[in-house]
A and B are shown apart, each in its own frame.
Chain A
Amino acid sequence: MKGWYINAKDLYVPAKNASKYPVRQGDVVHGSFLPVDWAAGQVVHPTCELTKPSVKTVQIARVHALADLASDFERQLVITGFRELENGETRIDAAHTFFLPKRSKAQKDTFVTFRELTSISANHLTNKSRVLTLTHEGRVTFIRRWIYFRFRWGLSYDEVQEAERVRISADPNFAGPRPVWAPLTASTS
């Protein structure tokens, strides 16, 4: 399987365009609603749940600064998501993390740990509290990593994107700009 990540410039929606996109799974939020020692939180709750009136709380994973790790070696593992061993193996590593490279030089590199979860009120998921908006392609990389962590299922980028394409193309109520690879198709109902 190919590596995990795409370039930082392709991972995030530019801040000036972010308001066109509703808050979705993979976006990063910040605010006093998070535990005090959290740098930020990544929405790991499924996107299709977020707009349901019955959903009062949503699941968030903890974001850390990359600098908080104890060594450069650990930072390497988080950035790559794999390590090379001498016997010709490239082995998945730090599977419980998702690297969030800085968007500009003024920012810091961060990463998410899927092992540290909390729930917050769904009301806190607003454009104002959102600090990073994933592109649709960025969300594919996030979902791929999340599926591997939860189920140890090693899907390719293309497989996850295809599943997203099928879902989004069939959804006439999809909010915000559509991915170019998932145009609306005729309703099958």
Chain B
Amino acid sequence: MSSELIFSQSPVGHRHLQNKLPQVLRETVEQGLIAPLTNHGVVDAYLVPPDVIEAFREMERKNSVLTMLVAAERAEVAIPSETLRQRGIKFEFDADRLHWFTTTFPVEITHDENGLPLRETPPFKSEYIPESDFEISI
């Protein structure tokens, strides 16, 4: 996706959206356009294509990783980083410093070991369940 945000030429009114939703979607977000939603001429929301939101998330993630890389470079800590390796930035391995960095810097892990994005787990409530004393015979 282009980093440029492309806006629809004409805003979409509430009533028009309500009456012509499929048409509005076809003419705006399906064309990659961001459309201002207006009520009596005042913008109160935007229709945004899903890939724009995904691009924002990606930028946010990269920003977090970039912050970590800058911190590692400044602290001269050898972290397992493809970005630093490809740029020829190399520090001597020091287990103590790496452990210190890993436990001090708020590292954000974004993907599982197969490269799939980590999803937020649905909230769950822990509940205490007493164990039974019953034992099977094996």
Contact = CB atoms under 8 A, between A and B. Distances in A.
Interface of A: 1-8, 48, 54, 66, 72-73, 75-77, 79-86, 88-93, 95, 99, 101, 109, 152-156, 159, 162-163, 165-167, 169-170, 188-189
B135 A75 contact: no
Contacts of A109: 95, 99
A14 B7 CA distance: 61
A170 B128 contact: yes
A90 B83 CA distance: 11
A1 B82 contact: no
A48 B83 contact: no
B12 interface: no
A154 B114 CA distance: 13
B107 A166 contact: no
Nearest to B107: A3
A155 B121 contact: yes
A6, A90, A152, A170: residue with the most chain B Cβ atoms closer than 10 Å: A90
Interface residues of B, number: 43
B19 interface: no
Contacts of B95: 66, 75, 79, 101, 109
A74 B40 CA distance: 62
Contact of A163 (B58, B104, B126, B135): B126
A66 B93 CA distance: 13
B102 A79 contact: yes
A48 B98 CA distance: 34
B108 A2 contact: yes
A166 B128 contact: yes
A48 B109 contact: no
Interface in B61-108: 61-62, 65, 68-69, 78-84, 86, 93, 95-96, 98-100, 102-108
Interface string B22-55: 0000000000000000000000000000000000
Given A79-B95, A83-B80, A92-B109, A7 B130 contact: no
